[in-house]
Amino acid sequence: MKVAIIKYNAGNIRSVCCAVGRLGGEYVLTDRPEEILGADKVIFPGVGHAATSMEYLKARGLDRLIADLKQPTLGICVGLQLMCRHSEEGNADCIGIFDVPVEKFRDDDPGLKVPQMGWNDITGLQTPLFAGIDEGAFVYYVHSYRAALSPWTVAVTDYGGKYSAALHRDNFWATQFHPEKSGSVGETILKNFLNL
């Protein structure tokens, strides 16, 4: 099985490559359309700024390519946010696979630290992505923006209010948390994705 990991203007992609490699996946880190289209699975990971990341994707036509993918595709962290309709981060129009707004954590709660950084639980688990994962399992987050709850929400986290920890539509899945940094739980989720 060949996995294309999309290379773009974002950080933390290398740890996803290492995680896929540990699970025995043959991967290529690429922004070349022919390699992405020819892969069995696609992962769209990263940590970064929504507006500058969208500029990079649009300049290379990768925004349209990602939206048209037919193979199982997994967005991670800012990858999830860019798969949504719009992000408040840089007032960016995004890819629009999920018709969901991405909003900044509100800072009117003095007890709420932003970015959310660390472990939090996931509940309301749906889809085969979470096979073998217990309700309330803990996963690792680093982010300042979150996707609202929607009909595509398949896992929920509560941090200053409930939001989408994961989304699913057709052949597209996405997690706000980092499965590659979430220990055995994250490893199971990545393995489930590779087995879809």
Among the listed residues 89, 143, 168, 180, the single catalytic one is 180
Among the listed residues 34, 35, 77, 88, the single catalytic one is 77
Among the listed residues 89, 94, 168, 178, the single catalytic one is 178
Amino acid at 71: Q
- Given a contact cutoff of 8 angstroms between Cβ atoms, the answer to whether 128 and 165 are in contact is no
Task: Measure the CA–CA gap between 36 and 21, rounded to whole angstroms.
Answer: 17
Q: Is 180 a catalytic residue?
A: yes
- Hey, which residues are catalytic here? 77, 178, 180
